[in-house]
Homo-oligomer: A and B are copies of this chain.
Amino acid sequence: MSKNTPRFRIALVGHGFMGAAHSQGWRVAPRFFDLPVHPEMALLIGRDPDRAAAAARRWGWAESGTSWRDAIARDDIDVIDIVTPGDSHVEIAIAALDAGKHVLCEKPLANSAEEAAAMADAAARAATRGIYAMVGFTYRRVPAATFARDLVASGRIGEVRQVRAAYLQDWLVDPQTPLAWRLQKHLAGSGALGDIGAHAIDLAQFITGQQLTGVSGVMETFVPRRPLLGETSGLSGTARTTGTAGAEFGEVTVDDVALFTGRFTGGALGSFEATRMSTGRKNALRIEVAGSTGALSFDLEELNSLEYYDSNAPETLRGFTKILVTAPSHPYLSAWWPAGHTLGYEHGFTHQAKDFVEGIITETQPEPSFAAGLQVQRVLDAVERSANADSIWTSTSAL
């Protein structure tokens, strides 16, 4: 930044795992990218004043508070960054947008398609006033994923025919993993489907440039009762599995596993899986896209590389090329280290902060918009409806 770069003041609402990630994004973005404004970590909001104050100190926010309504009411706040559980998104985001604050909201956008539709409406209204909203599907901003999108868009793999997308985790295999908020329908909306399946859907649609028009799904909860959360402690609020299990048990009201097939606007078929029961897989978001002249394969557990198959190569030389997506000519990489010096999970949040700020300043809708978030929500909704109706093929366009 130059000496005179203007300031842009951020308020973060919530301070769990995503709070730590967003904080790192805001902290680091202006150090590696030439941003048109300097994002200032102004205010952190949490329900408990002491824990909010501790989080603000730890993560470097200037102030802390307990009321998101107060944050929205302040004139000196430009951006509301929402990292609370899904049930509160709709109220906070609409209020913030209506108050003229730019909004970055964690995914999934809401706990239902209805809520998401209301949020998308509010965002559309706000955009006419130069106020922008974006939903936090950060995996789009892993350089290898952005590059995959670029390759598809430039025609490198031809007409897309098949998508294989799976988001595999295993933190629920252990039946002693406690009943965190992510396992309760009224707080989280759905389970593996909405939490990680939403990422798989967004990434598949982002890379292919197409949307899912219909789906057939099946969902399952393998461990129906889990110990209630005894207590959570310290920094470990950042980790979603670290609370201590108590002696009492409660009901898991969301899915452990969701499988579905789908069809894209361009006619391609997709196979999707979202699971927290895939023993041994920690954070494996895998996408493989096969086209008429090539194919791509990506795995978040090895996020610095992308595999690319080019059918136009001579037959003897064909194969999947493991591209280390760390060259200066790859997306986002000119700001970082020399080729071969890898990035990690959190860099997506840095790229998100950059892209969001640039969109606002250049008055260009930053993507994924709330409309895009709503569309993902409609897919989630259709999967659930299909799963509840013997897997019957279900359109994503009906609300």
Q: Which positions in A face B, CB cutoff 8 Å?
A: 1-3, 17, 20-21, 23-24, 27-28, 31-32, 34, 57-60, 147, 157, 161-162, 164, 166, 169-171, 173, 216, 218, 220, 222, 235-236, 238-242, 257, 259-261, 263, 267, 269, 271, 273, 275, 277-284, 288, 290-295, 301-305, 308-311, 313, 315-324, 326-330, 334-347, 386, 390-393
Query: Closest CB of chain B to A28's CB: distance in Å?
Result: 7
State which of B57, B310, B390 has its C-beta within 8 Å of the C-beta of A393: B390
Pair B17/A24 contact, Cβ less than 8 Å: no
Pair B280/A295 contact, Cβ less than 8 Å: yes
Copies of the polypeptide in the assembly: 4
Pair A261/B391 contact, Cβ less than 8 Å: yes
> In whole angstroms, what is the CA distance A386 to B330 when docked?
41
> Which residue of chain B is the closest to A170 with respect to CB atoms?
B290
> Which residue of chain B is the closest to A345 with respect to CB atoms?
B341
Which chain B residues lie closer than 8 Å to A338 at the CB level? 17, 171, 238-241, 282-283
Pair A271/B242 contact, Cβ less than 8 Å: no
Which chain B residues lie closer than 8 Å to A302 at the CB level? 302
Pair A339/B171 contact, Cβ less than 8 Å: yes
Query: Closest CB of chain B to A114's CB: distance in Å?
Result: 25
Query: Closest CB of chain B to A227's CB: distance in Å?
Result: 17
Pair A316/B58 contact, Cβ less than 8 Å: no
Which chain B residues lie closer than 8 Å to A318 at the CB level? 280, 321, 323, 327
> Which residue of chain B is the closest to A222 with respect to CB atoms?
B161
Pair B269/A337 contact, Cβ less than 8 Å: no
State which of B288, B311, B344, B391 has its C-beta within 8 Å of the C-beta of A342: B344
Contacts A/B (CB < 8 Å), 26 sampled: A17-B337, A27-B27, A27-B28, A28-B28, A162-B275, A173-B311, A216-B261, A218-B261, A220-B269, A238-B336, A239-B328, A257-B269, A259-B269, A275-B290, A281-B295, A282-B339, A283-B338, A302-B302, A313-B321, A316-B323, A341-B345, A341-B346, A342-B345, A390-B392, A390-B393, A391-B391
Known contacts: A280-B295, A337-B17. The answer to whether A57 contacts B3 by CB under 8 A is yes
Which chain B residues lie closer than 8 Å to A282 at the CB level? 324, 326, 338-341
Pair B303/A342 contact, Cβ less than 8 Å: yes
State which of B277, B295, B391, B393 has its C-beta within 8 Å of the C-beta of A162: B277
Which chain B residues lie closer than 8 Å to A347 at the CB level? 344
State which of B309, B313, B340 has its C-beta within 8 Å of the C-beta of A283: B340
Pair B334/A309 contact, Cβ less than 8 Å: no
Which chain B residues lie closer than 8 Å to A320 at the CB level? 280, 321-322
Known contacts: A218-B261, A337-B345, A340-B169. The answer to whether A242 contacts B280 by CB under 8 A is no
> In whole angstroms, what is the CA distance A144 to B215 when docked?
35
Which chain B residues lie closer than 8 Å to A263 at the CB level? 218
Query: Closest CB of chain B to A19's CB: distance in Å?
Result: 12
Query: Closest CB of chain B to A174's CB: distance in Å?
Result: 8
> Which residue of chain B is the closest to A273 with respect to CB atoms?
B271
